[in-house]
Amino acid sequence: MLKGSLIDGGGRRYKIPDVCEPEGGNAELSDAYVVKGKKTYFLFTCAWSIQHSGLGIKGVQYETFVYTGSNLAAIEKNDALSQALSGYEGSLEGGESSYAWYVSRKIASKKLLDLEVGEPKDSLALAHDIVLARLKNEDYEAVSSYLGSERINQLDVDFPVSKSTVVAYNDFGYALGRSGENDLAYKVLKKVEKVSPGRVVLKLNIADVLWGFDKEQSRIYYKEYVGLMKKAGKEKLIPEEVLERSE
């Protein structure tokens, strides 16, 4: 069980009106911080392990409590925001996986601010942060789960590929390629190419994705990448594997 209180500048203590009390396991305080938007929000997240070996369930439950109020004596829990930022990360019965996308402070803060203005769908900036975080941890299954065709299409409608968004979409294509989603990765990267055909790293990303199903076309992109790198005086930075594939 976790319960706590807030202390103002004068030393007065105010009890937090909720308790983190999991049905099983020991809860730990994962994080506590303030987010400032139209209102000021206080958040704390508790986490506990869940394991049911017989059902194949193993992971961590994250429960985030979001409070706001005109002063510490009047803080109240926002149930909708709390529920949106909570989640289970781990395996499910049947071998599938569940992901708690909005646990980290940076990502949860952005999600909260999006929800505050009535935007339930993840923005391009938020989606980019989520993908980069999973990519950094080499969690390719999570990338595949998050960046499905439906989400890519939704993002492309709300935030079309343009000069100002190519970095995010290039990273999406790269992440999808690393996750083995070559077809979708290629579609995303080709849209980036139409807007910004001269991006050097884009040549490499497209070549890597194509290598799995169209080696002839892949070599063309590898050669273009090698040529641009040599022209820029960066020949020593070209991976040996790329040089081999470009021949």
Quick one: what percent of the chain has pLDDT higher than 70? Answer: 98
Which of 84, 33, 35 minimizes the C-alpha distance to 63?
A: 84
Residue range 169-209, pLDDT digits in tens: 999 999 999 999 999 999 999 999 999 998 999 999 999 99
C-alpha distance from residue 31 to each of 105, 106, 181, 234 (Å)? 8, 11, 34, 43
Confidence of residue 1 (pLDDT cuts 50, 70, 90): low
Q: What angle do CA 89, 105, 100 make, to 5 degrees?
A: 15
| Residues 20-25, mean pLDDT to the nearest whole number | 74
- Whether the per-residue pLDDT at 120 is higher than 90: the answer is yes
Ramachandran bin of 219, using left for φ above 0, alpha for ψ from -120 to 50, beta for the remaining angles = alpha
If you average pLDDT over every residue of the chain, what do you get? 91
Residue range 69-110, pLDDT digits in tens: 888 777 889 999 999 999 999 999 878 999 999 999 999 999
- Are the beta carbons of 103 and 114 closer than 8 angstroms? no
Q: What is the dihedral of CA 203, 205, 211, 212, to 10 degrees?
A: -150
